[in-house]
Amino acid sequence: MTNEEILSLMNQYVEMNAQAAQHESEKQRLIEDTLPPDVRQRVAEIEAEFAGKSQAAEEALAQLEEKIKAAVVAAQANVAVEGMKASYHSGRVTWDSKGLDEAMASDPQIAEAIGQYKKQGKDYASFTFPKA
């Protein structure tokens, strides 16, 4: 597939995503227009009342999550309760690939000794969506 074809697919994706967002926005507008003003006012009051409560709960959950993670790492153990599991993972080991490649290129003995352990994963793509 050529770069132009990839660009075309990506543009198609962005356009379809924008259309989906526009449909959702239009749906919300129609729902709002259907509601009488007093109902809209009450909904706004309820949203405002629960916004603070939700934010406080989210902050408390985030603090508790960090505390649990720290405890699981300190215990080096997997822990589970009904509805939640915390898994311990040892730190990921990484190597300086550029430095190793340079060392292998400069010394055949090093290349022979460590070259057999070099593995390369499958190529992949990922998406990012910059905010407009």
Q: Where are the alpha helices (DSSP H) in the chain?
A: 3-34, 37-75, 97-106, 108-114
Lookup: tokens for 28: 């919300």
- Residue 68 and residue 92 in one domain: no
Cα 6 to Cα 10: distance, rounded to the nearest angstrom: 6
pLDDT digits (tens, 9 = 90+) for 78-92: 999 998 999 999 998
Q: What is the pLDDT of residue 118?
A: 85
Residue range 52-71, pLDDT digits in tens: 888 888 999 999 999 999 99
Q: Please give the residue that has the higher pLDDT: either 95 or 22.
A: 22
33 and 69 inside one domain: yes
Same domain, yes or no: 101 and 80: no
70 and 48: one domain? Answer: yes
Angle at 84 between CA 80 and CA 89, to 5 degrees: 65
